[in-house]
Structure formats: C-alpha cells, structure tokens
Amino acid sequence: MARLILTLICVMLPTVTQANTVYKCRKDDKIVFSQTACPQEYSQHKLEYQLGIITEIDSDKQEKPVDPLQALLNSQTLSKEKLLQLLDSELYRLKQENSYFEILKISELQKLERQRYWRNKTKDDPDYVSQMNNINDHFNGLILNNDTVMQQLSARKNQILTETEPE
C-alpha cells in the first residue's frame, strides 16, 4: 500500500510543478500560450506563478535577470535609473497580466454562454446570471488590484522623476 501511494506521488509531482508554469510562444505577430515548451521557430517567454506572484522570463536569453523584489530584499542599493527601469518593467508586466485576465474572462464567459445555449436556458436564468456575475466579479477584482498597484507604481515613478530633475 505504501508503494502504491509513493508511486502515485512520484507520478503526480511533475504535473503539479508544471501547473505553475505557462509558456508564451511568439512568432511574428502571433502569440500562443502553452504549458509545454515552445517549438524552435517561436520565441519563448516563461510565465511562472509562485506565492501569488507571476514572473515573466524571456527563455531565449541566456543571462539570468535579477528579480527586483529579490534585489530589494537582499538590501542591494539600486541607482535611480535602475529603479526607474524596474518600475517600468513591473508596470509593463501588470498591463500584460491585465490583458491576459481580459482574455481569460472573455473565454470563461463564452464557455458559460455555450453551456447556457446547449442546456436551453434563458439569459435571465438565475443560475446563469449568478455564474456570469461571479466570473465578472472575480476577473474585475484581479484587474482592479493590478490597476491599484499600477497607480501606486506610477506615483512612485513620478516622485522619483521629480526628485531627479535639476532645480
């Protein structure tokens, strides 16, 4: 019995670790999201989710970027130019994440609409309306959180820019 449980854990462990990683494959103007590595002809960005933080890593580059949060936690001093660059990259990441949330929201709403259609329910069915409101509330909350953080980061960026301007 212990062997069976150990075998199941070993088989399921790789799938659990992969669930936190999504690859963004880009070729020309086409973007595809996948849970497996991209083919060679695509440029690849790796999106990792860990402890509520999503990190986008350009997998095609060989150099390891320094995570801004880790740099601050390690008490490394950052120049104003580097801090502005990190703020810009975080703002860009949050905008991308908001776009991704919009895509997921539309997808979930379309899935719900298809279910409603095939079950021959009306658009004013209480269950349908409740599920639609739940989806909208969930994704709108995520987008609102990101918008709040983006406003705070923009305010901090403007504060840094005004501090660096000569008087």
80-139 residue pLDDT tens: 888 888 889 999 999 999 999 999 999 999 999 999 999 999 999 999 999 999 999 999
Asked if residue 75 has pLDDT above 50, the reply is no
Mean pLDDT value across the chain: 80
Token pair 């086409």 is at which residue? Answer: 30
CB 68 within 8 A of CB 86: yes
Kindly provide the b/e burial profile for residues 11-35, where b requires at least 16 CB atoms within 10 angstroms of the residue's own CB: eeeeeeeeeeebbbbeeeeeeeeee
Dump pLDDT digits (tens) for 4-49.
565 656 555 554 444 577 888 888 888 888 888 787 788 887 777 7
pTM of the model: 0.52
pLDDT at 66: 65
